[in-house]
Amino acid sequence: MTDSLAVLILAAGKGTRMKSARPKVLHRIANQSMIQHVIDTVMALKPERVIAVVGPGMDDVADEAGSAEIVIQQEQRGTGDAVASARRLLTGFEGDVLVLYGDTPLIRSMTLGRVLAERRHRNAAVAVVGMRPHDPGAYGRLVVAADGSLEAIIEAADGTPEQRAITLCNSGVMAIDGKELFSLIDAIGTNNSKNEYYLTDIVAIARSRGLACGQIEADAHEVLGVNSRAELAVAESEFQHRLRAKAMANGVTFTAPETVFLSADTTIGRDSVVGPFVVFGPDVTIGEGVEIPAFCHLAGATIGDHAIIGPFARLRPGAVLADNVHIGNFVEVKNSALAEGVKANHLAYIGDSSVGTRTNVGAGTITCNYDGIAKHKTVIGADVFIGTNASLVAPLTIGDGAMIAAGSVITADVPADALALGRGRQVVKKARAKAWRAKAKAGPVKKKPKVKAKAEAAKAKPAAKKSVKKVAKKVIKKAVKKSAKKRR
């Protein structure tokens, strides 16, 4: 026997029960596609080649499969036909061929190693992974001989009542002797209720030829096939349980583990403490001794040792925080590098920036990095003090040791050790507050009704006319007297 291994991942199914435009195997568990979980698992076995079988037009699945070789199953004619699609790549291969599915994200490499060992130990043509689900339902049943070898796999739809009473079920995962693979595949027929080529038939075919078959039993949760949104949620829950358990075993404290959600690639250093309702998106690396209180969201971030993040903080992709950085409540950091000892403890946004060592970013500070068309960078030196409610309009450079006055809008570079103010001059009106309060307490001035005011105005018009005539008479009389004097 040879120890060489080829892995065949069947991923051509459309997953109609998912009710999704996205192929089933691209749905995500812990922020990673199901097929990628399977590929990551089999890579631990160091296979000679990995092949993914996809359907026509499933370029997105092929792209997600990364370095795996791709073959197309032109028609959906059953699992046996799917394996036959890889004939061109596996003809002449004499090692183990491991067949598994792109929708089984929870399977462990240890289980795959066990089924390979079972096949080699028995020198079997086929070895199958079995399980005992709570509800056997439509699963195929494994018929096992007294010596533990496998006699047959019976599809539930084709089985007798006695066969359907068997609790050991087929998971679909098989290890097959490469020398026998296509000889067995070519003997499969379609004499079944679905008129399809069942891969499971190769067990009965092998036994009819006097070839041995074996089986192992795995936990039903591990070989769960995800076919619906409900099963996707179950798989997510199980995978999160694994990730939390692994982190805690490596020295991380979760104060409320069931409320913390991790990504498949999350890395957290020992002696770090994570509070309730913290969510880790993809690509997060946390150092040692880090404190992350409740309700933080992190994605694409790298955090050094002994940092404090949150509560209610958000770190977005490109956030790189050095040792001893403090990020407080309602602070958001995106695409920015914060050097050792930087503090931004309250209500701030730091985007597209670099911040030097020991700099203090005051509450309400905003780096105005976007002008509506492009993003611009803010460079802040070491030991800078930025006062409350400062707006830093990028592109901008603030030198080491500078101070930015509270409430300032800074639009030009600030030299090292300078004090920058960018706000309106304060005006003080003495006693104005006292007068305002008195007026406010007195209440509004009462105005006369409009109808009454119009009536009074009408009465006043004749009096005003008489007054004008009287004044005119006096002026004329005075002018006549003055003219008479001049004649004399």
Which residue numbers are catalytic? 346
- Separation CA 7–CA 202 (nearest Å): 18
Distances (CA, A) of 398 to 9, 376, 404: 55, 14, 9
> What burial letters (b/e) apply to 114-133, b meaning 16+ CB within 10 Å?
bbbebbbebebbbbbbbbee
- Separation CA 481–CA 488 (nearest Å): 11
> What burial letters (b/e) apply to 284-316, b meaning 16+ CB within 10 Å?
bbbbebbbbbbbbbbbbbbbbbbbbbbbebbbb
Instruction: Pull the structure tokens for residue 274.
Output: 């994570």
**449 phi, psi to nearest 5 deg:** -60, 145
> What burial letters (b/e) apply to 390-402, b meaning 16+ CB within 10 Å?
bbbbbebbbbebb
- Separation CA 283–CA 260 (nearest Å): 16
Contact criterion met (CB below 8 Å) for 371 and 357 = no
Contact criterion met (CB below 8 Å) for 417 and 399 = yes
Three-class secondary structure of residue 271 per DSSP: coil
Label residue 167 left, alpha or beta by phi (over 0 means left) and psi (-120 to 50 means alpha).
alpha
